[in-house]
Amino acid sequence: MTNAVVSTVLEIEAEYGTVLKCPINDNRLVAIRKFLNDGDDPIENRSPLGIDLKVAQKLLNSKMTKQEIADILGIKEYRLQRYINCGYLNDTIWHTFDDKRKKRRNSKYRMFKNGDYIGVGTIKELAELTHKTVQTISYYHTEKYKLRKHTDRFRLVKVE
């Protein structure tokens, strides 16, 4: 078959002057790409997103975290999440493996502002109570927030 590839390339070069000027969907060029890539045409199967969606979906179905999956795919985690939100990928199986996140989401916290008690509830309930976003309330629970100096200090204490 390698002789056939060489003769096909010579045929294309005779017609177009160089392989680079040949249209990307030329049947001869597609056949060569499929031969060199075990039957798959990498250009035909390439996603406009820049990642292999089949590989990404298989990784999501494994027990890996989204950060690990994003690192393997060579993208940022927020971009992976955007592909999921837009419907390119399905993470329903991934959620069944993410028990730690589910437990944290349903955990109850006591919230304090400058030492004064504000209320108790899940992060979502505290966000509604204080009229802040869920991300802001979650940030109050991080070490990064605790190390910074603030005029108003918020603390979340997990209720056992």
What pLDDT score does 6 carry? 84
What pLDDT score does 130 carry? 92
What pLDDT score does 90 carry? 81
What pLDDT score does 101 carry? 56
What pLDDT score does 68 carry? 87
pLDDT along the chain (160 residues), means of 10: 80 84 80 76 61 81 83 86 81 63 73 92 91 90 87 88
What pLDDT score does 114 carry? 92
What pLDDT score does 107 carry? 84
Structural domain boundaries in the chain: 2-36, 53-97, 104-158
Structure tokens at 40: 């798959």
What pLDDT score does 3 carry? 79
What is the pTM (predicted TM-score) of this model? 0.39
What pLDDT score does 81 carry? 85
